[in-house]
A and B are shown apart, each in its own frame.
Chain A
Amino acid sequence: MRKIKWNLETVLFLILFFILIILPLIVKSPYLMDTAITVLLFAFLGNAWNIVGGLSGQASLGQSAYYGIGAYTSTILMIKFGISPWIGMLLGAGIASCAAIILGYPSLRLKGPYFVFFTIGFAESIRVLFLTWDWVEGSRGIIVPYETGLNKMIFFGKEPYYYIIFLFLILGMMITYLIRQSKMGRYCIAIREDDIMAQAIGINTALYKTYAFAISAALMAIGGSFYAQYVLFIHPNDIMSLNNSLIFMLIAVAGGIGRLFGPLIGALVIMPLWEYFRSTFGGRYAGLGIVFAGMVILLIGTVAPYGILGIWDVLKRKRTKSTQKGGQIENETRK
């Protein structure tokens, strides 16, 4: 572990974590708790997206397929075989990883828009598959029976859900952090920067991309299982939609692509507004949330490619420049 630098950023993050930890004790409104859980869930999913998108530079818009696979695996196992979703979740992660490795294989040689098409295509295909598959109830969706219990991961209040997803988020971010510090992380970054150069310095790009796909898919699946146990209803059009994949990307990119805290920041900024629009307006005005999301993505695409953290960095640099100048003058007078 590296030494932690004590500065404004560290302090801010500590405050943030503190607030997040005690949040359920302060907040009592179920609506706000719901928003908080959504924020953490999407921060978790955005973090999972970041492993392929931000770290490795593979902009996948098919991650919702793995989200769905996770949700369906744990739910089916629970409903049809009585297996606890805690275990089902891990199995879902395993299946999603395998799917990612298999599906990832044809995509390894694809670049740029071809890769993006491919991810959209396979996610859509999987969605259609689940939609027409009777055994998983297809287009009827699955309602998870409401029976509370720790082993069923279904609870009466929202607090347990909050802490579970908070824990998952911390674990997810730790995994991301460890990857970045490791050889795999540096290799993935090299692949992002220049795939051909990466090969020329001895990196087996296919292997490392596959690792990234597999890990990201596993995390996505875990998020999906959580979602299923929280919302208690799953449907292919709901979970495995392109819209979802776009939101995962949006969260990570809004915060700052490739940055460790990017998804958390992104989720904090975007999800509350999103939730507000979604629950306040119905019918045709449900689109307001997406209008907002679309505008944010547009802004990122045009003026703020490095997201909120990117803007923060720019501001920091401007501040450092002025303090540096001040420091210089000080040194000179001391002489």
Chain B
Amino acid sequence: MNIISQAIVNGILLGGMYSLIAIGLTLIWGVMRIINWAHGAMVMLSMYLAFFGYAFFGFDPLISLPFVAIIMFIFGYFLQMFLIQRSLNSPWISRLCATFGLMMLLESLALILWSSDWKAIPLSYGTWTFNIGGILISFPRFIAFLLALLMALGLHLFLNHTEMGKAIKATAQDREIAGLMGINTLQIYRITFGLGLAITGVAGASLMTFYYVFPKVGFPFALTAYIVCVLGGLGRLNGAILGGLIIGVAQSVGAYLISPEYKMVISFAFFLAVLYFRPGGIFGGVTE
């Protein structure tokens, strides 16, 4: 029984990371109705940035974190401005191609620049664990989890209590009317995309406290993030959070009960179940 509890706790901590990654994705979808297939690659990029923060400046990834977030924001802003925006005005296949192309480009560039070697940051607190009632909790994972919660809270406050945030919400609800109300929707898109990537920046930097990076690290995170978003309801922030936790636990327990390789299959099974019984996701997101 203890092992299952351990698996559940691990799952929750893992789920926090999934939630964080999923939040950026669901935000972009909610406002721009586009799925950023390159989202995983963005996480990977953030992780490399944090790694180089350590390799060149000796920064702990949590110190690099704000810088990574800002760099990713700027990257996202201009990416939207020069690339993604064009695909929004093109036929349906364009959105798919634009972000998939970006994913392929980033992953292969990473392979060329930094090789497929796994890179990790040795941290003094990297192996600290504390013991609560027989369950081991990894310190860095716990910190990352707290950061994820903080980030989610921060985003919630931003969207509901600032001018910019409310403008973003308005644009998400109805692009045309937001435009008529004087909101510069193009600018909102850029900021939203930048914000979405900044959040992956936070996720990536946090991940570097206990994980390792390699060019394709983003792919399984991305796939899981999509499933989390669908589970929680596309466009719903609280859905992304809850969905992340659920998937995290399901994967963790499932990996223990069945086999680690089946992580993706389990997530996929969840995905199917959601689509069948509750297509809008747990919180009834935006399906169109």
Q: Are chains A and B touching directly in their complex (CB below 8 angstroms)?
A: yes
Expressed in whole angstroms, the Cα–Cα distance for A257 and B93 within the complex equals 9
Taking residues whose C-beta sits less than 8 angstroms from the other chain, chain A's interface range is: 35 or more
Contacts of A286 on B, CB cut-off 8 Å?
Answer: 111
CB contact between A125 and one of B110, B268, B276 (< 8 Å): that residue: B268
Interface residues of B in 263-286 (CB under 8 A from A): 264-265, 267-268, 271-272, 275-276, 279
Task: Give the interface SS of chain B, mostly helix, strand, loop or mixed.
Answer: helix
Interface residues of B in 201-244 (CB under 8 A from A): 215, 219, 223, 226-227, 230, 234
Would A114 and B108 count as touching, CB distance under 8 A? no
Judge whether B95 is part of the interface by a CB distance below 8 angstroms.
yes
A–B complex contacts, Cβ < 8 Å, 16 sampled? A106-B272, A110-B275, A111-B287, A117-B226, A118-B272, A125-B268, A246-B100, A284-B112, A287-B111, A291-B104, A293-B104, A295-B105, A300-B101, A301-B90, A301-B95, A305-B94
Judge whether B127 is part of the interface by a CB distance below 8 angstroms.
no
Would B94 and A290 count as touching, CB distance under 8 A? no
Q: Which residue, B215, B267, B275, has most C-beta atoms of chain A within 10 A?
A: B275
Contact with B along A286-320 (1 / 0, CB 8 A): 11111101111111111101100000000000000
Judge whether A88 is part of the interface by a CB distance below 8 angstroms.
no
CB contact between B104 and one of A128, A132, A297, A299 (< 8 Å): that residue: A297
Contacts of A298 on B, CB cut-off 8 Å?
Answer: 83, 97-98, 101-102, 105
Would B94 and A302 count as touching, CB distance under 8 A? yes
Would B268 and A288 count as touching, CB distance under 8 A? no
Judge whether A113 is part of the interface by a CB distance below 8 angstroms.
yes
Expressed in whole angstroms, the Cα–Cα distance for A246 and B276 within the complex equals 26
Would B265 and A125 count as touching, CB distance under 8 A? yes
Would B112 and A288 count as touching, CB distance under 8 A? yes
CB contact between A253 and one of B97, B107, B234, B264 (< 8 Å): that residue: B97
Judge whether A101 is part of the interface by a CB distance below 8 angstroms.
no
Judge whether A122 is part of the interface by a CB distance below 8 angstroms.
yes
Interface residues of B in 24-59 (CB under 8 A from A): 29, 35
Judge whether B87 is part of the interface by a CB distance below 8 angstroms.
yes
Task: Give the interface SS of chain A, mostly helix, strand, loop or mixed.
Answer: helix
Expressed in whole angstroms, the Cα–Cα distance for A181 and B115 within the complex equals 49
- A301-B112 contact given A117-B230, A132-B259, CB 8 Å threshold: no
Expressed in whole angstroms, the Cα–Cα distance for A253 and B94 within the complex equals 10
Would A128 and B261 count as touching, CB distance under 8 A? yes
Judge whether A221 is part of the interface by a CB distance below 8 angstroms.
no
CB contact between A294 and one of B108, B259, B288 (< 8 Å): that residue: B108
Would A301 and B271 count as touching, CB distance under 8 A? no
Judge whether B86 is part of the interface by a CB distance below 8 angstroms.
yes
Contact with A along B73-89 (1 / 0, CB 8 A): 00000000001001100
Expressed in whole angstroms, the Cα–Cα distance for A125 and B270 within the complex equals 13
CB contact between B271 and one of A57, A118, A131 (< 8 Å): that residue: A118
Would B223 and A124 count as touching, CB distance under 8 A? yes
Interface residues of B in 244-270 (CB under 8 A from A): 259, 261-262, 264-265, 267-268
Q: Which residue, A121, A253, A286, A306, has most C-beta atoms of chain B within 10 A?
A: A121
